[in-house]
Amino acid sequence: MLSQFNTSTGYQVSQKQGSLFGRIDMVAVGLYLALVVIGIVSIISASYDPEMENIFSLSHNYMKQIIWAGIALVFAVVILLIDRRYIHMFSYPLYVIGILSLIAVLIFGVKVNGAKAWFEFGSVRMQPVEFVKIATALMVARVMSDFSFNINRVRDLFKVAMVILIPLIIIVLQNDTGSGLVLCSFLFVFIREGLTKYIYFPLIFSVLLFIASFIFTPEAIFITLLILFTIYSLLKSGDVVGHVRFLAVVSLVTLLLVIFTPLSGYAALMIVCGIAAVVLGAVAIKLRAMVLLWPIIMFVYAMLFVPTCDVLFSKLQPHQQDRILTFVGVKSDPQGIDYNVNQSLIAIGSGGAFGKGYLKGTQTTYGYLPEKHTDFIFCTPGEEGGFLGASVVVILYIALILRLMRMGERIKEPFGRVYCYSVAAILLFHVWVNIGMTIGLMPVMGIPLPLMSYGGSSLLASTILIMIAIRLDASTEDESVYMG
């Protein structure tokens, strides 16, 4: 075994003899290839026309996807041959290039489905945001692998949050909110790295409140929270008398809220919430029941946040508002915004247990299902392969995501661990949202299914994203790398 210290990077490196390709996680590679092949086969079926003359014409979507798959494999081999230290070294410049590309497409890009997020070169379109996900994952890993980094220190948390917020804001300005939401998946990485619950729980709580605000009235939400937080307080402390007083005060505040808000609007609500914060906090301190402060803060925050959901909702595009309203069941439009999801449910449901057979899907073959080779590609194995075919696809994705997480745990140094978990989080978000929207469990966001949906940008970016993780994992077998 050879050992050396690299003074330029600050890493200590121990090297073993052996072939690089002999150390690659072939299970992960096999899962990747299986999903790519299933994707191509599904695109062939979704694009199939019995009357087509030249099946090998480059005008067909499946032929274009095969070419992109070949290009992606070339990139995969190149990445696996790169020294892993270069991946760490070029994290900063790649991130800067990614941000500049987002700004450039915002100025010079073309609109597709209402989002100005594409470069167009003749007949070829490229979506920079797909590659910005890679650059952001690398940058997050670089920042969080700093020797002095602490996820719960305000300065460090702000630093890594800005790495995510900068591209997120630009992507939202492109009117590509769905792609921007993918970056929110990094919260999973932060939790893995030890982010305190006092930071991530309010974020999750806010999302749930946002959804609930479209289904229930503010009064119903506040009363429900009152009951839940009271039960929480009772479980955390045995001071029954104190909790009765607490319940009485909160009930009074809620009653005031219900009475005055409809009369005076949000201004009265702000006043009531301010009084509630002071009174409830004073009660908790006087009773020396600090456990009450947490539900008090969350309750007052809910009273402040729920009314602002209308303002946040009004900032969304009309089609985005319709998707949210139909998702939560407030609005129904079977021939409009609901059409894609309804046809998707028909396609998957008609597949039964074992499917209709390859090239025999009626919904996909006869064009009833829009976007059948892109956002709704999962319907093809669902209809033609039935529950069994759909389950195989889901299992392959789960296995790949778990494999990436295992790589992260196997890599000893923080850069590789954080990056692998970032890749797993991005893939999990994509798969969860895409498959969820095809079966009516998530609103339609226009997020592709990685490795399977038609599109060169998505396939190439997903390949690079995964192969970098595999390359970093392969380094654990020949290079023990840690910050010096």
pLDDT tens, position by position, 64-113: 999 999 999 999 999 998 888 889 888 999 999 999 999 999 888 888 77
What pLDDT sits at residue 335? 54
pLDDT in tens, 433-464: 899 888 877 777 778 899 999 988 899 999 99
Cβ 27 vs Cβ 38: under 8 Å: no
> Taking a C-beta distance cutoff of 8 angstroms, is the pair 449, 378 a contact?
yes
- Reported as half-sphere exposure (CB side, CA atoms, 13 A), residue 304 has a value of 13
Give the whole-angstrom CA distance, residue 65 versus residue 58. Answer: 10
Return the pLDDT at 285: 63
Q: What is the pLDDT of residue 450?
A: 93
Coil/strand/helix, residue 372: coil
First vs last Cα of the chain: how many Å apart?
Answer: 20
Residues facing residue 124 across a β-bridge: 121
Cβ atoms < 10 Å from Cβ of 146:
14
The percent of the chain in helix, strand and coil, each rounded to the nearest 5, is 70, 5, 25
Query: Using the 8-state DSSP alphabet, how is residue 56 labeled?
Result: T
List, in sequence order, the alpha helices (H) in 55-127.
61-81, 84-89, 91-108
**Domain spans of the chain, in order of start:** 2-189+358-483, 216-316
Low-confidence residues of the chain, pLDDT below 50? Answer: 1-17, 263-264, 478-484
CB atoms within 10 A of CB 263: 7
Please report, to the nearest 10 degrees, the dihedral formed by the alpha carbons of residues 366, 368, 370, 372 taken in order: -50
Q: How confident is the model at residue 328, as a pLDDT? A: 57
Would you state the pLDDT for residue 391? 94
Q: Please state, as a whole number, how many other Cβ atoms lie within 10 Å of the Cβ of residue 192.
A: 18
Q: The tokens 């974020």 sit on which residue?
A: 203
- Whole-number pLDDT of residue 400: 96
Element (H, E) at 4: strand 2-6
CA atoms within 13 A on the CB side of 326: 23
